[in-house]
Structure 1
Amino acid sequence: MSQKKILVTGASRGIGLELIKQFSDAGHQVLALSRNTERIDALKSKFKQLSAIQTEITTAKGIEAVADFVGKKWGLVDVVIHNAGALLHKPFKETTVEDFIKIYQVNVFAVAELTRKLDAFLAKGSHVVAISSMGGIQGSMKFAGLSAYSSSKGAVITLMELLAEEYKDRGISFNALALGAVQTEMLKEAFPDYEAPVTAADMAQYIMEFGLNGNKLFNGKVLQVSNSTP
């Protein structure tokens, strides 16, 4: 397998942390983004080709730092995994406009803006993958208290479909993966009593393979990756 340049957001825990471990272990160059890089930095002695930026991707300054690194160090990006996510479990009648904006800033707006800033570094064969949720799939089972989260995950699916159309002449692929429940710290924080049937490491392995090869078969698609409901 040829070495690829991989960018992963939300890389400090859960699926994101497992992704950077597995991509690095496979010999790829990895740029890990997170507001907290302590766990990532601890891996650098083992994975020499792992880089990290402590940044907030919901800010212009944070995204500019990413574009600056890629422009100066890499010049191009082969795979982008938009993994960073925010989850709110709160009754709709108590959910404010500010709550919606906060969730959408991470789950939709940052995805759009980071992709726009990386435009110059995406080339034919590049693959951009957004991590969505089964809650964002039209017609899927929905759960009370997730109005902001699930609607944002539906929005990012549509965004990937639209970008696939805009970038198809350049040979750049955009897809979304709608994940079912995965046992992560974020899930535990929102649903303390729920035990998911899939580990973060197992899901990361699937996402890694899809990121590297899924664009050979898919573009502008959303794949449902779940063996349970939710």
Structure 2
Amino acid sequence: MKNVIITGTSRGIGYELALLFANAGHNVLAISRKIPKEFIENQNIVCLGLDLADVTVTDKVKDFIDSTWQHVDIVIHNAGALLLKPFEEITADEFEYIYKVNVFGVAALNRVVLPFMNKGSHVVTISSMGGVQGTMKFSGLAAYSSSKGAVITLSELLAEEYKERGIAFNVLALGAVNTEMLQEAFPGYEAPLSAKQMADYIYNFALTGNTYFNGRVVQVSSTTP
């Protein structure tokens, strides 16, 4: 049984991941702005209704771990904010918000959770093919894709910094998955993979991927729009 923190669990991949871990008997801390009613009824899921752009999030997570689990085995940074807008029209506040959720929130949660992680723990950050250097890029996603590139570099650096403690950091750079976020970016596009299919892959990778990888960016993409 693992203690697993998952962000962005109100819909899509994060929602499916939380149910997969909980139904397999693991303890899940589900962090998202909205709380699905199915989670409230699941004895293995504890919900925190929080926005990762809020600086008080980390205090509440720390208090929970201190008072209950005492240690964390897996963190999956799945939450993401997306903005589809021409670069010249993006305001400073909009650009900052994307980074608060996609980058600063990841860093802040890592900072709080790491003292509770032991050898063999695994931190998985969900990025995007759009954040990988040299891949196809799309107009209107300057804030989103650049933020996803930033968390890739952050994870690579933390993998080096924490390797002596045996804590692994890996990134899954996802291609097209049929989620609400994909429809926001590419309305009408039908991806070949469902949120449940991708959640199955991430579930297994989170449990075993650190046996084989540390500091790796794994491209999980059958297609990009």
- The one-letter code sitting in structure 2 at the alignment partner of 1:189 is E
Counterpart in the other structure of 1:167? 162
Secondary structure in 1 aligned to 2:79?
coil
Query: Bigger CA drift: 209-218 or 179-188?
Result: 179-188
Counterpart in the other structure of 2:105? 110
Contact 2:31–2:47 (Cα < 8 Å) also in 1: yes
CA distance in 1, matches of 2:95, 2:158: 23
Structure 1 residues not aligned, in runs of 5+: none
Using the TM superposition, give the Cα deviation of residue 172 of structure 1 relative to its aligned residue in structure 2, in angstroms: 0.2
- The one-letter code sitting in structure 2 at the alignment partner of 1:121 is F
Using the TM superposition, give the Cα deviation of residue 204 of structure 1 relative to its aligned residue in structure 2, in angstroms: 0.3
> 1:43 and 2:43 equivalent?
no
Q: How does 1:65-144 map to 2 (within 5 A)?
A: 65-144=60-139
CA distance in 2, matches of 1:110, 1:170: 23
Aligned length: 225
Deviations 1:76-113 (A, max 9, x none): 11000000000111111212222211111000000001
Secondary structure in 2 aligned to 1:178?
strand
CA distance in 2, matches of 1:56, 1:94: 25
Counterpart in the other structure of 2:20? 22
- The one-letter code sitting in structure 2 at the alignment partner of 1:198 is L
CA distance in 1, matches of 2:40, 2:51: 21
Secondary structure in 2 aligned to 1:74?
coil
Secondary structure in 1 aligned to 2:156?
helix
Deviations 1:187-216 (A, max 9, x none): 222322211111000000000100010000
TM-score where L is the length of structure 2: 0.97
CA distance in 2, matches of 1:130, 1:110: 12
Counterpart in the other structure of 1:152? 147
Using the TM superposition, give the Cα deviation of residue 42 of structure 1 relative to its aligned residue in structure 2, in angstroms: 2.5
Counterpart in the other structure of 1:183? 178
Using the TM superposition, give the Cα deviation of residue 140 of structure 1 relative to its aligned residue in structure 2, in angstroms: 0.3
- The one-letter code sitting in structure 1 at the alignment partner of 2:180 is E
Using the TM superposition, give the Cα deviation of residue 55 of structure 1 relative to its aligned residue in structure 2, in angstroms: 1.4
Contact 1:181–1:226 (Cα < 8 Å) also in 2: yes
Secondary structure in 2 aligned to 1:109?
helix
CA distance in 2, matches of 1:179, 1:42: 26
CA distance in 2, matches of 1:20, 1:67: 20
Contact 1:55–1:65 (Cα < 8 Å) also in 2: no
Deviations 1:36-80 (A, max 9, x none): 11x1x42343x3111111112222212210111011110011000
Contact 2:39–2:46 (Cα < 8 Å) also in 1: no
- The one-letter code sitting in structure 1 at the alignment partner of 2:29 is L
TM-score where L is the length of structure 1: 0.95
Counterpart in the other structure of 1:34? 32
CA distance in 1, matches of 2:189, 2:201: 22
Secondary structure in 1 aligned to 2:162?
helix
